[in-house]
Structure 1
Amino acid sequence: MDRPDLNSVESRLRIIEDKLAIYELIASHPPSADTGHSDYTRSVYKEDGVFDRGPTLDGANGASDIAAFIERPEHHKAIAGGLAHFVGLPMIDLRGNEAVVTSYLQIVHLDHEGQPRNLPNHGVSTGYRIHRAVVNRWELERVEGRWKIRRRTLLPVDGSEAHQDLLRRGLDDVYFSKGDD
């Protein structure tokens, strides 16, 4: 496993720059999904990228097919209904020109059936509903100086061993395998 050298200032600065770029990549997912910005999605996946949405949802292979998810009329209907994706701060395991990122994602939407409630100084709202919470494993690769998604796996937070294993692998990658080859 190609781990970064921590002995030089240049190496440490490169780690910081890589982590900031990866944070920006992961943070860009919600605005791109919530605006249907398929060109952006297409640009951040490798041409042969994989989007694995687990055993109950369809996935896609290839940047164009992955971007097509947010071009679907159903997705635009969700956007018009108040769709919002929220990511948690990711754990990043840098491996030279590769990285593995583990994070949470919540899919939230405006609750059109909720009772209107007033919050002082914030107006009236029917509230929002958390539709789903998932865990993500983002496998990234540096391509021509830019981080791109090689594979994204997401699994629902459902108490299953599969989603817990994905989280454990992320913890192990970041905290227990440093320096292992």
Structure 2
Amino acid sequence: MSEDRMAALETRLRRLEDERDIARMMASYGPLVDGGDADGVAALWTSDGVYDIDELFLAGREQIGGMVRSAAHQGWIRQGCAHVVGPPHITVDGDEAVAVCHSLMVVHEEGRYVVRRATANHWRLRRADSGSGTGSGWQVVKRTNRILDGRRESPALLAGGVRGEPAEG
């Protein structure tokens, strides 16, 4: 096998491994947040990472972990909830990546499960150094969530992310 062909295969393998690692990291959010693992959730973000949710703006791991520890979130866990992150579309560019997906928050109410929120998710990620503690090598720099309620901003997040564009703001 020629050196050029070997290098091309190594590049393709690295991209596939990066996409797999990012998808696994994103998929870990739901089990961690529903399990009340505040430190595990916070570790998904860079130390100065941002989680921009419609009703919340969280800057840094302390605030992100605090959201999981909050009385409101702990109430969702006691009531029964599931944060379901859909399959992502991932664009890797070296040590940076953009991923988009849908997510649902499903809650247990009066003996049945109800979708409380359907959301567009835009993730900007960075390859972390090996000491990150996430195990994936990737961390969230900024996650922007917008409820899919008819506003133009929400589907624009999804479409832009498929094109690899950063979220506005």
Give the match for residue 103 of structure 1: 101
Match of 1:169 among 142, 160, 165: 160
Q: What is the 5 A alignment of 1:1-181?
A: 8-54=8-54, 57-112=55-110, 126-145=111-130, 146-173=137-164
Q: CA deviation at 1:135?
A: 0.6
Greater Rg over alpha carbons, structure? 1
Q: How many aligned positions are there?
A: 154
Structure 1 residue 173: Cα displacement: 2.4
- How large is the Cα RMSD of the aligned pairs? 1.6
Match of 1:117 in 2: none
Q: Which amino acid letter does the alignment assign opposite residue 72 of structure 1?
A: S
Q: Which amino acid aligns with 1:128?
A: Y
Which blocks of at least 5 consecutive residues in structure 2 are unaligned?
Answer: 1-6, 131-136
How far apart, CA to CA, are the structure 1 residues paired with 2:154 and 2:20? Answer: 26
Q: Is the 8 A contact 2:90 2:162 kept in 1?
A: no
1:64-99, CA deviations, whole angstroms, 9 ceiling, x for partnerless residues? 111110000111111010111111100001011000
- DSSP-derived class of the 2:56 partner: coil
Give the Cα separation in 1 of the matches to 2:152 and 2:108. Answer: 31
1:154 is aligned with what amino acid? N
Partners of 1:161 and 1:149 lie apart in 2 by 24
Residue 46 of structure 1 and its aligned partner are, at CA, apart by 0.5
TM-score (norm 1): 0.81
Q: How far apart are residue 59 of structure 1 and its match?
A: 1.2
